Amino acid sequence: MKNQEIAALFEKIANVLELKGENTFRINSYHKAARVIGDLAEDIEILAKAGKLTDIPGIGEGTAEKIIEYINSGKMSKYDEVMQGVSEETVALMQIPGLGPKTVALLNKELGIVNLSDLEKALHGDTLKGLFGIGDKKIENIVKGITLFKTSQQRISIGMAYPVVKRIIEELKHNPKIEDIQAAGSLRRMKETVGDIDILVSGAEGTEIVKSFVNMRGVTQILAAGDTKGSVRIEEGVQVDLRVVREDEFGAALQYFTGSKEHNVHLREIARKKGLKVSEYGIFRGDKKVGGRLEEEIYATLGMDWISPELRENRGEIEAAQEGKLPKLVELSDIKGDLHNHSNWSDGIPTFEEMAEHAIKMGYKYLVVSDHSKSLHIANGLEDDELLEEIEAIDKLNKKFKGFTLLKATEVDIKSDGSLDFPDKLLKKLDIVVASIHSGFKQGTEKITERMIAAIRNPQVNIIAHPTGRLISKREGYEIDMDKVIEACAETGTALEINCFYDRLDLNDINCRKAKEAGVMISISTDAHHLDQMWMIELGVGIARRGWLEAKNVINTFSLDKLKTFCRKKGMPSP
Ligand code: DGT
Ligand code: CA
Ligand code: CA
Ligand code: ZN
């Protein structure tokens, strides 16, 4: 149902008109339209189709036209017109509890405040007080409103959301009334952060299904519980939406609720040109439904290959699907080992034996032990002689395994002058060398790029770990020139890492795709310090798929021999 979507648009139009100081009669009529549509029990699309919009009290001819335009095209020209000259940032200010259009207009006129950071500065500088009836109480409310607004805007890492969804789906699967169940939204697309979690189920008894959903464990607040939709907040602080659809509409709904919005808008455009219509209920030619039970039917009817959810960002995937040129994306089952892990020899928890045992259980053929180097005191980095001992210990242990190998490695620190923390003759004794930056983050672009490229040019270095150093929602990456880094990796046969640790996911999807296009190989590895972190390989595979990577672009899909050849080749003098 598009009821809430349309109501929100009218509300926004009313607010922006008010902000602009337009006449009250029209503003009130938009507020009213927003309210009645928001409260409507019936589906507004169905009413529109039946020509019954003007039967709704508060909806006149003009409003009805706008609704029909939006339903047909996904656009409302009145909205676009009203938004002229107003930034989204200013409109967002009006969503802060306690801040209506009148106050925002006042703040704008008197203090030039157009966005949240302006407002926070003004609050800090105490310039608000005394401004036309803004007293202590009002200021207190605004401060509270900002806190609330920020919490509601918070996105959580996929690393938190992903296991939560697995748990919820496992629990709901036991309900015999549920036929199909699938995660949708940004989580299914494996975006690095998600705003809320969307779950889609099919089944005939919506009310019962929603009831079991809102009563599951971990729910802290029930936001909505109807016969087709339930919405809750859970312990992890995130909102989870459940939608119940009919079995024969499951594919269409899954397609719609997986998004992204941009992908869906583009698909609908293509549909329109072909005389088709795509909605969450199915794909239609005129009034005739021509598909909708399976997601594949939607794409096939539109004349294209089925598109993996991770690609659905409207970044060229639709054109590729039309031409039959989608990449054959790397899969979790392609991964033969993890190339970045820490043992209890540095700052990890597990022993080699425990790491190997866990890796074998995961179906891996090899696992890299890459403990830190000596400069990293806080991480208990290894001295040269300790690394030699570690090599010996791993060699000895490897004799016990059949069809599995622990690889001797290090995560060697790239020092602030670009030199490495271990001498080359020591690095030569290893199977793989992972190098990374852990200090001097504030060096300017030129310096830090040169520093990394110096490491890339070292013939012993095989992989650059967490190449930008960013921590999601905590720290921007260093200001590195990724294009130059990618170029140097391509020239030298050095791989870049997708660090799968949930707060890193570094490289990100965009840089992955750039690297692939430049012919740079990628390592998808967890940086696990604990056995319970090795599952995060799944997150990295998600990012790789979002970056259009195929198995052949990823070095840890290689057999052990091929991987060793890849590493050895770099160290060889060029002919
Ligand atoms: P999120 O939750 O912010 O990480 O991102 P999504 O993509 O999960 O977005 P969400 O939860 O608002 O909606 C789930 C999907 O439903 C979205 O990816 C596409 C579809 N959808 C939601 N609202 C709209 C809309 O206004 N227009 C269109 N075309 N699709 C929408
Ligand atoms: Ca979502
Ligand atoms: Ca949602
Ligand atoms: Zn590490």
Which token pair is 302?
């539109």
State percent of the chain over pLDDT 90.
Answer: 70
CB 449 within 8 A of CB 480: yes
Would you tell me how many other CB atoms lie within 10 Å of the CB of residue 474?
Answer: 7
By C-alpha distance, which of 483, 488, 468, 463 is closest to 368?
A: 463
Model confidence at 401, pLDDT cuts 50, 70, 90, reads very high
Kindly report, residue by residue over 402-422, the tens digit of the pLDDT: 999 999 999 999 999 999 999
Would you tell me how many other CB atoms lie within 10 Å of the CB of residue 114?
Answer: 16
264 CB near ligand 1 (under 6 Å):
yes
By C-alpha distance, which of 10, 5, 48, 43 is closest to 29?
A: 10
HEC profile of 323-365: CCCCCCECCHHHCCEECCECCCCCCCCCCHHHHHHHHHHCCCC
Does 475 have pLDDT greater than 80? Answer: no
Ligand nearest to the CA of 5: 1
Q: Write down the mean pLDDT value for the chain.
A: 92
Burial class (CB in 10 A: 0-12, 13-18, 19+), 255: buried
| Range list of H helices, 177-294 | 185-188, 206-214, 250-258, 261-273
Q: What is the pLDDT of residue 573?
A: 58
Does 153 have pLDDT greater than 90? Answer: no
Which CATH entry fits the domain spanning 332-570: 3.30.460.10, 3.90.1150.10, 3.30.70.1070, 3.20.20.140? Answer: 3.20.20.140
Q: Which atom number of ligand 1 is nearest to the Cα of residue 256?
A: 20
Considering only residues 468 and 101, tell me which one the structure prediction assigns the higher pLDDT.
468
Which residue has the least CA distance to atom 13 on ligand 1?
185
Q: Which pTM does this prediction carry?
A: 0.77
Kindly report, residue by residue over 557-571, the tens digit of the pLDDT: 999 999 999 999 887
Q: Which fold has domain 3-154?
A: DNA polymerase; domain 1 (1.10.150)
Q: What is the pLDDT of residue 135?
A: 81
Ligand nearest to the CA of 185: 1
| Range list of H helices, 40-157 | 44-49, 61-73, 77-83, 88-93, 101-111, 116-124, 136-153
Which CATH entry fits the domain spanning 156-245: 1.10.10.60, 3.30.460.10, 1.20.120.530, 3.30.750.210? Answer: 3.30.460.10
Write down the architecture of domain 250-322 according to CATH.
Answer: 2-Layer Sandwich (3.30)
Q: What is the pLDDT of residue 24?
A: 76
440 CB near ligand 1 (under 6 Å):
no
269 CB near ligand 1 (under 6 Å):
no
Kindly report, residue by residue over 486-526, the tens digit of the pLDDT: 999 999 999 999 999 998 999 999 999 999 999 999 999 99
Kindly report, residue by residue over 127-148, the tens digit of the pLDDT: 777 777 778 888 888 888 887 7
Which residue has the least CA distance to atom 15 on ligand 1?
257
Q: What is the pLDDT of residue 478?
A: 87
Paired residues of 197 in beta bridges: 240
Q: What is the pLDDT of residue 124?
A: 82
Does 150 have pLDDT greater than 90? Answer: no
381 CB near ligand 1 (under 6 Å):
no
